[in-house]
């Protein structure tokens, strides 16, 4: 996996162009009165549906999910040893701008933490009905340092469905010995009856102990029309929460059946 990450980062260095330089780290960019804090600490600053970060602080981690397979729309996930979080970014090319495995420093001052039913998202201060806005592409250099030279392979935490708890929200996990029951053989995504195009769909994932969890699949993902496996296997995913109900989202096509 590490070889794939490094190869991909090398390609990214050529493709990024004027969007954002995938640069070597600059320790001077990490210096602030509050210094670098963990993602877990950053999350504790969310005290309302939308909380603007006024302290001068940063988080540092690694990019664990983007739109390489169409599983996310204008967002990425990053993680450190304490956990993970979603970043809302106004880019349709996050696989190029934010390659998986790259080290990232996020300067959080003036950004906002939004609470979407229990899942926290870091984005720009809201201007309308949403709890955060997307961070504008022209502001990427202001808020992000992306460093491919320090790329790492990020391994998921191996857990069972019954193990999922609040600390896993935003985290990369691997659920093993799971299956799709009578959904096996169906397409990952249902189709719109008028357009015939795949639409975002919720499937149910089961384990051998009878536990289940919602699996949300973006209609624009590259495998939307492929068939769901008819055997047990493993899924690598991000844990999300909506109004107290856990759900997961496959990232980087981590489907092992």
CA distance 127 to 40: 26
**Could you tell me if 29 and 140 lie in one domain?**
yes
CA distance 226 to 85: 29
CA distance 225 to 188: 6
Which pLDDT tens digit goes with each residue over 46-65? 999 999 999 999 999 999 99
- Confirm if 5 and 151 have CB atoms less than 8 A apart: yes
Domain boundary residue, one of 103, 122, 150: 150
CATH code, domain carrying 242:
2.40.50.140
**Could you tell me if 14 and 123 lie in one domain?**
yes
Closest CA relative to residue 187, chosen from 229, 217, 231, 227: 227
Which pLDDT tens digit goes with each residue over 194-216? 999 999 999 999 999 999 999 99
**Could you tell me if 126 and 6 lie in one domain?**
yes
Which pLDDT tens digit goes with each residue over 2-46? 343 343 344 333 333 333 446 544 555 544 445 899 999 999 999
Examine the pLDDT at 172 and tell me if it is beyond 80: yes
* pTM (two decimals): 0.87
Examine the pLDDT at 256 and tell me if it is beyond 80: yes
Looking at residue 23, its pLDDT comes to 54
**55, 56, 57, 58: CA torsion to nearest 10:** 130
Mean pLDDT of the residues in the chain: 89
Looking at residue 34, its pLDDT comes to 52
Which pLDDT tens digit goes with each residue over 112-167? 999 998 999 999 999 988 999 999 999 999 999 999 988 888 899 999 999 999 99
**Could you tell me if 14 and 128 lie in one domain?**
yes
Domain span including residue 131: 2-150
**Could you tell me if 59 and 137 lie in one domain?**
yes
Domain count for the chain = 2
Looking at residue 129, its pLDDT comes to 86
**Could you tell me if 146 and 165 lie in one domain?**
no
Q: Average pLDDT, stretch 239-255?
A: 95
> Percent of the chain beyond pLDDT 70?
87
Q: Average pLDDT, stretch 187-196?
A: 96
């Amino acid at each position: 996996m590490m070889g794939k990450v490094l190869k991909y980062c090398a390609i990214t260095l050529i493709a990024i162009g004027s969007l954002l330089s995938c640069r070597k780290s600059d320790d001077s960019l990490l210096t602030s009165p509050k210094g670098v804090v963990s993602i877990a600490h950053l999350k504790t600053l969310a005290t309302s549906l939308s909380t603007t970060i006024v302290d001068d602080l940063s988080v540092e981690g690694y990019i664990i999910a983007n739109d390489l397979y169409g599983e996310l729309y204008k967002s990425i996930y990053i993680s450190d040893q304490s956990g993970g979080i979603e970043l809302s970014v106004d880019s349709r090319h996050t696989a190029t701008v934010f390659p998986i495995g790259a080290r990232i420093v996020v300067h959080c001052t003036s950004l906002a933490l939004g609470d979407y039913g229990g899942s926290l998202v870091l984005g720009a201060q809201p201007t309308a009905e949403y709890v955060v806005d997307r961070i504008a592409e022209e502001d990427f250099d202001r808020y992000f340092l992306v460093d491919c030279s320090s790329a790492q392979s990020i391994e998921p935490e191996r857990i069972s469905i019954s193990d999922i708890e609040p600390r896993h929200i935003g985290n990369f996990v691997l659920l093993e010995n799971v299956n799709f029951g009578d959904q096996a053989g169906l397409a990952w995504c249902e189709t719109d009856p008028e357009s015939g195009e795949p639409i975002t769909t919720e499937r149910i994932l089961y384990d051998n102990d009878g536990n289940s969890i919602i699996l949300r699949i973006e209609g624009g993902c590259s495998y939307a029309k492929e068939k769901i496996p008819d055997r047990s296997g493993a899924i690598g995913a991000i844990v999300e929460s909506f109004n107290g109900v856990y759900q997961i989202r496959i990232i980087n096509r981590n489907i092992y059946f």
